[in-house]
């Protein structure tokens, strides 16, 4: 079973101890000045580091986006959800039969009607970080979305649409 333990480092920042399901132990220290240090520990000796890396804020954010799937999402994962307390980050692929396919963010009034935020839209040949209201949901594109669980549900309902009464009978 995996777990994450967070602790304050007064005058330095925060420390996160991550124990993975596979048994690996990783410590991430986030300094107040934005630097990050990561330590991977030996399985046999939990006090001995196997490797260490130091990153500045930009490097850490780039790696986070790679690990989190913002840069590349394996094709086997059509929809994925990541949760940080009440915040959900989810990837949703636009299908041709969706009501919102071919419509813009403004046209669907995403923010007003759902409360969700679109972080990025990744297509086959381009990716747009923080797309504007004029951006159109192209078939095959993957939407990276953030919000609370109900906001995500509202977004999916708006994007996908509800079956009509005629098809339900």
Encode pLDDT of 7-45 as tens digits.
999 999 999 998 888 778 889 999 998 899 999 887 777
**Whole-model pTM?**
0.50
Model confidence at 72, in pLDDT bands (50, 70, 90)?
Answer: low
**Going by C-beta distance under 8 Å and a sequence separation of 6 or more, which residues neighbour residue 43?**
23, 24, 25
CB-based contact 156:98 (threshold 8 Å): no
Encode pLDDT of 98-150 as tens digits.
999 999 999 999 989 999 999 999 887 788 888 999 999 999 898 988 888 89
CB-based contact 69:75 (threshold 8 Å): no
């Amino acid at each position: 079973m995996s777990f994450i333990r967070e602790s304050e480092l007064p005058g330095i920042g925060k420390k996160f101890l991550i124990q993975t399901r596979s048994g690996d132990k990783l410590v991430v220290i986030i300094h107040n000045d934005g630097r990050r240090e990561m330590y991977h520990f030996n399985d046999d000796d939990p006090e001995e580091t196997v490797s260490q890396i130091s990153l500045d804020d930009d490097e850490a954010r780039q790696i986070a986006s790679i690990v989190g799937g913002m840069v590349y999402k394996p094709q086997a994962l059509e929809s994925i959800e990541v949760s940080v307390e009440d915040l959900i980050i989810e990837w949703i692929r636009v299908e041709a039969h969706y009501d919102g396919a071919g419509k813009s963010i403004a046209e669907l009034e995403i923010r007003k009607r759902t409360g969700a935020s679109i972080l990025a839209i990744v297509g086959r040949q381009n990716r747009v970080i923080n797309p504007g209201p004029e951006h159109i949901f192209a078939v095959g594109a993957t939407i990276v979305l953030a919000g609370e669980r109900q906001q995500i549900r509202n977004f999916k309902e708006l994007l996908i649409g509800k079956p009509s009464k005629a098809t339900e009978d």
